Structures are given as C-alpha cells and as structure tokens.
Amino acid sequence: MEIESFRALLTEQGQALLAELQGFTAERELALATALRREHPAELVRAAFEQARLRQRAEAKFGADAASMYFTQPGVEQATRRPVAEWRAGRFAALGVRRLADLCCGIGGDAVALARAGIAVLAVDRDELTCEVARANAAALGVAELVEVRRADVADVDTAGFDAVFTDPARRTSRGRVFDPEAYSPPLSWAVEAARSAPFGALKVAPGIPHELVPEGAEAEWVSDRGEVKEAVLWFGTAAAEPYRATLLPGPHSLSGGALPDPPVGPVGRYLYEPDGAVIRGRMVAEVVAAVHGRLIDPMIAYVTSDELRPTPYAQAYELTDVLPFQVKRLKALVKERRIGTVVVKKRGASVVPEELRRQLKPAGPNAVTVIVARTAAGPVMMLGQPVGPAT
C-alpha cells in the first residue's frame, strides 16, 4: 500500500468506506467493489478492500481491536499477538517502568499494550508508512497521548532517560526468515547493548535461538499462547534467580528453571505427560518431571511418565490404556476392534508421518484415541490413551 492511499483511508470518505466494508465476505467482494467504484475513486476502494482483508486476518492476533486498527501486510505477519504483548507490558509495568523506548515498533501493537499498562512510549521505526500506521493505531485505540511515534533509524535514537528499552529486530528479508541472530536488523549484538543501556531491557528473538547465544546475565523467556510457542524474549535487569522462564498463556502460568540435573529415565507408567513447547524450548522438562514425581521415557525425548496423575499447567496429561511395541498391523487391528473413528497421532524420536499413519489405520466408528509413537530404551513403542482434561 502506498502512503498516499493509506492517508486517504483516514479521511472522512475513507472512514465511511471502511465502515461499509466491515464484515464483508469474499463472495460479495466483486459486486460490492463494482458498486463502490461508482461513488468513490477506484484507488481508494482498492485500498479500503486491502485494509478490510488485513483486518479480518488480524482478528486471530488482535481480537476485537482488529476491526478498528490499521495494518500493512508485513505488519499483520510480524506483529505480536495481543495476549503476548499484554503479558510483556505487564512485566514491564511490574518492574516499575514508566517511560520506554520501543525500537522497531512496527504497526504499534506492543506500543499500544504498553500504553494501556500506563507506560509512556517512544515508538521508533524507519519506514514512513509503518510509522503512519502505528500513529493511527495509537489514536484509534485511545492511547495517542502516551505514544509518540518517531520515524528514525534506531541507531540514532538517544535512549538516555528511559526506564526501559524494548527492541523487536526484523527477522525476515525478501528471501524469508533469518536464522543467524547477527543477520537480524538490527543485529543481536546491537540490540543487547541497547537493552543494557537502560535499567531494564528486553528484545525479541526467534524461539529457536541456541541457548549458548543467550547473553551473560540475561533471562531468556519463551512464551506460548494456547499451546503454540510464539516468541522468545531476552530480559535484562530483572535479577532473575533462574536463567530460563517458560510462560503459558492464557493463565498466565510462568515456570522458572534451567538448573536442575538431568531427570531419571524409566519405563512407561500409567500416565504420559507432554510438556508445552515453551517448556521444551526453555529446557525445563526436568522441572515438569519433578512436579509430577515422574521420569523420562528416553533421555533425549521430551515425554514424561508417572504412575499417578499429578495435574500441571505445564504439560498435557494422557491416561494410557496400552503400551505396545510399535507395529502398524497391530495398531490397525486395535483401531478396527475398538471401533475408533477419530485418531490423533503424536510422535517423537520415531520415523512416523502422522498423516500417513492415520490413513493406513482407516479409522471408522464412534470412538476416539490418541496414539503416541516414541522411542524408548526398549525400542519404539505405541502408547494409546486419552487426554486427561486440558493442560490447565
């Protein structure tokens, strides 16, 4: 979208068009666009449809806010989900932060969450259109008085006097995702120094960041939302007792750790626990083992087992009915015998493609089962069972 087209959407005519397109469906798009072009400039109609489509895509991240926000296509893809941004803003507020520099602010999702937490924000981005969108979002969501949007190179911003610095480096180029942290824009090393320039700092990194790249003195936090790992953040100044943290949303539930010894390994018991992805990324499976008085089924596999049920918010529990050597033929016979029509297949450490295995089983019937295929010291096994409630 060109910046002139975006600015036209902020006019009275543009706002009327956007209001008319709320809730439109793809089936109506052609007829609606034809009708609207009779009353409005074609370029404005095109921009309004583009914005309306982006708002619909953004509902998954921003909920009801998306209907009144503004987006670019990269902004929708790269913006922080609202629950995650609110969690981070809450952490900053709890640390006593009142003024924060948000570097690489994008469309302003984090800036809005921070402002809603009572924090005055300087939101910086070098792209002119992105800055216009961030400014419009702060106004649309009623926090413009707390958010100053500035177009600048983040390297030129003086962060002296701010309580905290938050940096969200770009981790994508025209070629796709960037995996080398020093290829981020700005690079990880620069962002670390920026975070350390204030009493408190935080910077987003890819969830797959190697633990050896976590800087000395930083607290690494992995955040998942509804079971899906969304981001990792390096925190500075928090004086955390443990180097790693896993936070699960909604909840929130936060688990700190990273210092326990390797957990014991033993045979599969009555219950199997599948730790949340944030727990696994943060290498805190040992903390889950300790919480459920359990053991691993294999030293390199993140499945925990125990002989009794001890619910934990950090892992989904399954009550097992069968633990057998993995054989497709035997599994197919069990599925047929028990009239199972719904099969959820999970696997770790086994050369199994869940979709292909499900097709091979040809499930039919009213019952359901979860099949977990995993490597153990005794060889690959298939574990059949049912989830025991949600991971609370």
Torsion of CA 76, 49, 65, 120, to 10 degrees: 60
* Three-state DSSP class for residue 95: coil
* Band of pLDDT at residue 254, cut at 50, 70 and 90: very high
* 225 and 372 co-located in one domain: no
Sheet of 219-225: strand order equals 147-151, 120-125, 99-103, 164-167, 200-205, 228-236, 219-225, 244-249, 253-257
Q: Is 184 within 8 Å of 171 (Cβ atoms)?
A: yes
Asked if the model's pLDDT at residue 184 lies above 70, the reply is yes
Chain segment 279-303, per-residue pLDDT in tens: 999 999 999 999 999 999 999 999 9
* Domain with 314 in it: 271-387
Question: Is residue 392 over pLDDT 60?
Answer: no
Which of 265, 377, 272 minimizes the C-alpha distance to 325? 377
Provide the pLDDT for residue 26: 79
What is the CATH classification number for the domain harbouring 220? 3.40.50.150
Query: Residue 27 pLDDT more than 90?
Result: no
Same domain, 118 and 182: yes
Q: Please state the domain count of the chain.
A: 3
Domain boundary among 205, 222, 256: 256
Coil/strand/helix, residue 3: helix
Q: Residue 378: pLDDT band by 50, 70, 90 thresholds?
A: confident
> Per-residue pLDDT tens for 59-79?
999 999 999 999 999 999 999
Residue carrying the six token digits 């050896």: 212
Give CB contacts under 8 A, 24+ apart, made by 360-366.
Answer: 360/328, 360/332, 361/328, 361/331, 361/332, 361/335, 362/332, 362/335, 362/336, 363/335, 364/336, 364/339, 365/338, 365/339, 365/340, 365/341, 366/339, 366/341
What is the distance, to the nearest Å, from the Cα of residue 166 to the centroid of all Cα atoms in its chain?
Answer: 17
Give yes or no: residues 157 and 222 share one domain: yes
* Residue 174: pLDDT over 80: no
Rounded to 5 degrees, what are φ and ψ at 169?
A: -65, 150
